[in-house]
Amino acid sequence: MRALRTLPNLSVHKGRFLPKEKTRPLVGQEHIFVRVHDTEEKGSDVNLATHLLYDAFRERFDVALVLSQDTDLIEPLRVVTQDLKKVVGVGWLDASRPGKKHRAVTSFIRHANPSILGRCQFPDPVIGKGGVRFPKPLEWA
C-alpha cells in the first residue's frame, strides 16, 4: 500500500475484514455442526462501486479497469458502461472463464496470469517521500 501511495493521482479506499464465528455443517455429515472462524469482507465492493460511479459521473476517467470478479458489481458496471457510455474493463484474476453477466456489462475483459503480474510489479525498492525505501517482500521475488 505504501508503494501504491507513491503514484500521483491515486487514492486508496479500503474495506475491512470482520472476523466472526459461525456454525456450519460438516461435508458428508450434514447432521453434525461445528463452530468455525470466518472472516467477512465489509465495504470493499460498496466503496469500489461508489467511486466508480462518482468518477464516471464527474468525467474523471476515459477508461477504468476494475480488478474484481465480484458479481455485486454487475449493476454499477452496467450503469457506467451502458447508461453513462464509459469504457470499463475487468481484470480477470484467475483461470476461470468470465461469466455471461460480466461479459454483458463490461467493455473488455483481460486475463491476468502470474507472468503478466510479475512484469507489472514496482521496481525494487520503491522510493517514497523523503527518500524512504520500500523493498519488495521477499516472497514476491
Q: Which pLDDT tens digit goes with each residue over 64-105?
A: 999 899 999 999 999 999 999 999 999 998 888 999 999 999
> Confidence band (pLDDT; 50, 70, 90) for 9?
confident
What pLDDT, on the 0 to 100 scale, is given for residue 106? 97
pTM higher than 0.85: no
Q: Are β-strands 108-111 and 87-92 bridged in parallel, bridged antiparallel, or unpaired? A: parallel
